[in-house]
Amino acid sequence: MACKILVLNIGSTSFKFKYFNMDDLSVIASGKINSVFSKNAGCNFLSGDTEKSTVFDASDGYGTCLEMIIDFIDKNCADGINGVSAIGFKTVMAGGINYPCVIDDAVIEKMQEYSASAPAHNAPYIEAVNSVKKYFPNVTLVSSFETAFHNTIPDFASVYPIDKDIAKKYGIRKYGFHGAAHSYAAYKFGSEKNIVSVHLGGSSSVCAVKGGKSVDVSMGFSPQSGLPMNNRCGDIDVFAVLYLMEKENMSIDDARKFLCTRCGLYGMSGISNDLRDIEKANDTLVIDAFTYSVSKYICSYLAVLGKIDVISFSGGIGENSVIVKEKICSRLKFLGVELDSEKLKHKPAGEPYKISSDKSKVEVYITPVDEELMVAKNTYAFAERR
């Protein structure tokens, strides 16, 4: 019987799934739900010739979304949900557990322990795993942690400049995230190329890839650091946070909530956590602050890689926003980066699409990353080893 793997990808603003036949990596069904937590979430599901598109109320979060996905598979795929051999989750953070493994109680406990550092991700995954168990009591559930691809980052790049005993005791260091997206770019462009993978979505990060391996990434101990995110802060002077806590009389919980809900694009603009709204409102300060931050990370990775061959844009913002790519690349002219203004407007599906001009010294691509494929491969390899 064919091995069929269902991959669940719970993002900070989206819920995606893909259902693979691992014999030939064909996709049995796939889909995406946008703007989870809003009253007007949009879903688009596909299986063979069957398509389902609807706008629905997802203000209660990921629960309704999961039910819709399971119902779609059950009604439209051969053998319904009984055809599923294993389920892979694009899980985010469990500290030292950063390798593919069965999601057992110990893994859930670790995810729980780190929930406070990844509140937009760990809690929804724990909830999803518990719900999925009810629908699939006899199916193996496998974790493919976003941190795993970054195990190759050298110690000098992952160490934080704090007391070394305390750092060791609590595992305080850079872990890095978005491993599924960045490893897809590494897989597509090959190990000969020095790649800067720029993944911009609800959560955003930049990764330096050399020899097919991650050598640095903008996210650190938590997926809240590095670039500004949808409503999460990114890099900020920690002393500004302490000052604010004192001034506003904030508890640790208040501060955490502030940093994860009233910051990033939403906090800076006061308009929305969705870049489309910020572009519509022409809030140039926010667009400039965001793109400036991305350009600086790319340039800092020149020092890491020595030479940049490929810049790959992915994620909801990275794939779709023309102005963001234009602004980021306009600061990279000194590297010989030149975009093709026509190709830049193209919206590719499938393979990476080159948007740099023939004269450009660095190749720039839009890469519709297949995070689910990387999770399916990890899940399959893990299941085979058992």
Ligand X SMILES: Nc1ncnc2c1ncn2[C@@H]1O[C@H](COP(=O)(O)OP(=O)(O)O)[C@@H](O)[C@H]1O
Footprint of ligand UVW (CB under 6 A)? 11-12, 92, 121, 146, 177-178, 201-203, 223
* 75 versus 276: smaller Cβ distance to ligand UVW: 276
321 binding ligand X? (CB under 6 A): yes
In the three-class reduction of DSSP (H, G, I as helix; E, B as strand; rest coil), residue 52 is classed as strand
Q: Is 316 in the site for ligand X (CB under 6 A)?
A: yes
Closest CA to 208 of 199, 200, 216, 220: 216
Using CB under 6 A as the binding rule, whether residue 201 contacts ligand X is answered as yes
Residue 14 sits in the site that holds ligand X (CB under 6 A): yes
* The entry of Mg ion, ligand UVW, ligand X, none that residue 276 binds, CB within 5 to 8 Å by partner kind: ligand X
Binding residues for ATP: 16, 274-276, 316-320
Give least dist CB 293 to ligand X, A. Answer: 16
Instruction: List the one residue from 11, 88, 220, 228 that touches Mg ion (CB under 5 A).
Output: 11
Taking the C-alpha atoms of residue 31 and residue 66, their distance in angstroms, rounded to an integer, is 11
- Residue whose C-alpha is closest to residue 316's, from 284, 280, 273, 356: 273
| Of the candidate residues 115, 300, 320, 357, the single one contacting ligand X (CB under 6 A) | 320
Query: How long a stretch of residues is the chain?
Result: 386
H, E, C per residue of 190-257: CCCCCEEEEEECCCEEEEEEECCEEEEECCCCCCCCCCCCCCCCCCCCHHHHHHHHHHHCCCHHHHHH
Q: Which residues ranging from 207 to 236 are in contact with ligand X (CB under 6 A)?
A: 230
Q: 214: buried, middle or exposed (CB in 10 Å: 19+, 13-18, 0-12)?
A: buried
CB of 381 to ligand UVW, least distance (A): 20
CB under 5 A: which stretch of 79-87, 201-209, 217-225, 291-299 binds Mg ion? 201-209
Sign of CA dihedral 279, 280, 282, 286: negative
Q: Which of 45, 73, 197, 274 binds ligand X (CB under 6 A)?
A: 274
Binding site for ligand X (CB under 6 A): 11-14, 201-203, 230, 274-276, 315-317, 320-321
